[in-house]
Amino acid sequence: MEKKSKILYAASTASHLERFHQPYLQALRKEASVFTMATGDGVDFPILFDKRFFSISNLRSILQIRKILKHERFDALLLHTTLAAFLIRMALIGLRHRPYVLNVVHGYLFGITQRGMKDRVLLFCEKLLKRQTDSIAVMNAEDWNLAKVHRLCRGKVYFLRGMGAPIEEAAPCPEEALRERLSLRSTDFVCTFVGELSGRKNQIFLIRATKLLRDRSIPCKLVLVGEGSEREALETEIRKLGLEQNVILAGSQSPVLPYLSITHLYVSASQSEGLPFNIMEAMACGLPILASKTKGQTDLLKDVEDALYPPDDMTAFCDAAERIYRSGQLGVGNMSYPTLKQYLLPSVFEENLKILKERGGSL
C-alpha cells in the first residue's frame, strides 16, 4: 500500500484557515495526511505567531517549529500569510530533511519601490529565504513582478485569482434595527470599511476624510468594522476631531454583510493588499466602491470607472466621495461587477487545488 504524503498547511491564525481554506483542506485530506499550524484553537500544531516580526516570542516559536519539523518530517509545507510563512521558513534554515515549500503570498508587505527601511528589511528577508522556498503563488500583478524581478524562489511562480471568495448570504438582520442600534438617521451618508484596525489598513485616513466631508456639508457617517492594535490611536483621533457622533467603531462582526446592507458607499484607504476579500464582498453586494489605487485593490477595480483614487490623496478622495454622494447612485445593488465571478470559489478552486498538489509528483 502506497504511503500517503504528509503535508503541513499553515497560516498565521486559525480563523484564517477556517474562513478561507476549509474546501482545500478537505480535498487534500482525501489523498494525503494533512496537519494544520496556526495561532488559535482547532489546529494540530498551535503556535504563537506574534505580529511583531522580530520579537523574542517569535524567536521561541521558530525553535518550537524547528522541533516539530524535525520530528514530523513532512513531505511538503503549504504556507499562507506573511508571518507564518516567514517564521516557518526561518525554522527550515540548516535543517537536514527539508520538505518541498510552496509560499502562497497573500500580499507582500513591501512594494516595487521600497519606500522606507521597513520595506527594504522585508524584501531582504524574502531574498534570504529564497533557498527555503521552492515555489511561490501570488494574487496580484505587483506581487507577480516582485517575485519575478527579485527571484524570490528556487522554482515556479504561480498566479492565483485569490483563494476563492466564499461570498455568503447575510444573516437575517432587519435593516432598520441595525440602523437604529448604530444611531444612523435616514439622511446620513453611510461609508463603511471592513478590516483589521491597523496602520496598513489606514483607517486614520478615512477618519480625517470624514471630518473634511462634513466640513463640505455632507452628512457622512463612517462605520469601521473590525478590531486591531490601532483601536486606541483611532479613538484618540476621533476625539481630537470631535467626530464621536460621526465615526462608529463597530468591532469584529460576523457576518459583515448586514453592515454592508446599510452602507451607501464602501471605502478603503489601504496601503497594500493581496487580493482583498472585503472589496469582493462589497462588489458582490453591488455597492459603489472608492478605494486607494494600491496593489490588490487595483487588480479588482482597474476596469471600474472612478473607483480608484491616488493613495493618501485626501482631496481626490473627498472630491470623488462628494461626486458619488451627489449622484444619488448609493447603496446595495446600484453597481454591477461582471468581473467578480472569476474570483469566486467555484471559478478558482480546481486550478488552485492543482497548484497546491503540484509538489514534485509526491501527491
Is 359 a residue whose pLDDT tops 70?
no
Digit-coded pLDDT (tens) for 43-54: 999 999 998 888
**CA gap 360, 358 in Å, rounded:** 6
If you count them, how many residues does the chain have?
Answer: 363
DSSP 256-270: -HHHHHT-SEEEE--
Residue 11 domain-assigned? yes
Digit-coded pLDDT (tens) for 80-132: 999 999 999 999 999 988 999 999 999 998 887 656 788 888 899 999 999 99
Residue 40 domain-assigned? yes
Alpha-carbon dihedral angle through residues 162, 166, 167, 173, given to the nearest 10 degrees? -140
Residue 75 domain-assigned? yes
Q: Return the pLDDT at 1.
A: 45
Going by C-alpha positions, the residue among 62, 126, 125, 66 that lies closest to residue 98 is 66
Q: Return the pLDDT at 361.
A: 44
**CA gap 8, 73 in Å, rounded:** 10
Residue 170 domain-assigned? no
Digit-coded pLDDT (tens) for 251-290: 999 889 899 999 999 999 999 899 999 999 999 999 999 9
**Co-location of 155 and 209 in the same domain:** no
The residue whose grid cell reads 461626486 is 323
Residue 130 has what DSSP assignment? G
- The residues facing 46 across adjacent strands are 38
Do 105 and 139 touch, CB atoms closer than 8 A? yes
**Co-location of 133 and 244 in the same domain:** no
**Co-location of 234 and 349 in the same domain:** no
**CA gap 50, 167 in Å, rounded:** 29
Distance separating the N- and C-terminal Cα atoms of the chain: 14
**Co-location of 99 and 232 in the same domain:** no
**Co-location of 184 and 212 in the same domain:** yes
Residue 304 domain-assigned? yes
* Percent of the chain at pLDDT exceeding 90: 83
If you average pLDDT over residues 292-305, what whole number do you get? 94
In whole numbers, what is the pLDDT of the chain averaged over residues?
92
Could you tell me which residues come within 8 angstroms of residue 47 by beta carbon, excluding any fewer than 6 positions away? Answer: 37, 38, 39, 61, 64, 65, 87
The domain that holds 17 is classified in CATH as 3.40.50.2000
The residue whose grid cell reads 435593516 is 175
Do 23 and 82 touch, CB atoms closer than 8 A? no
Could you tell me which residues come within 8 angstroms of residue 83 by beta carbon, excluding any fewer than 6 positions away? Answer: 12, 49, 51, 53
Residue 198 domain-assigned? yes
Residue 196 domain-assigned? yes
**CA gap 169, 338 in Å, rounded:** 19
With the C-alpha atoms ordered 142, 16, 95, 119, is the resulting torsion angle positive or negative?
positive
pLDDT confidence band for 174 (50 / 70 / 90):
low
**Co-location of 12 and 70 in the same domain:** yes
**Co-location of 120 and 40 in the same domain:** yes
If you average pLDDT over residues 214-227, what whole number do you get? 97
**Co-location of 197 and 308 in the same domain:** yes
Going by C-alpha positions, the residue among 258, 240, 234 that lies closest to residue 184 is 258
3-class SS letters over 85-123:
HHHHHHHHCCCCCCCEEEEECCCCCCCCCCCCHHHHHHH
Q: Return the pLDDT at 114.
A: 57
As for how many domains the chain has, the answer is 2
Could you tell me which residues come within 8 angstroms of residue 132 by beta carbon, excluding any fewer than 6 positions away? Answer: 89, 90, 92, 93, 98, 101
Do 62 and 83 touch, CB atoms closer than 8 A? no
**Co-location of 110 and 193 in the same domain:** no
Q: Return the pLDDT at 207.
A: 98
Residue 55 domain-assigned? yes
**Co-location of 30 and 50 in the same domain:** yes
For the chain, list the strands marked E by DSSP.
5-13, 32-39, 45-46, 76-80, 100-104, 135-138, 157-159, 189-194, 220-225, 247-251, 265-268, 289-292, 308-309
Cell numbers found for residue 185: 438617521
List the domain range (segments joined by +) for residue 219.
Answer: 175-343
If you average pLDDT over residues 233-260, what whole number do you get? 95
**Co-location of 192 and 264 in the same domain:** yes
**Co-location of 53 and 131 in the same domain:** yes
Is 16 a residue whose pLDDT tops 70?
yes
Residue 221, classified by CB atoms within 10 Å of its CB into exposed (0-12), middle (13-18) or buried (19+), is buried
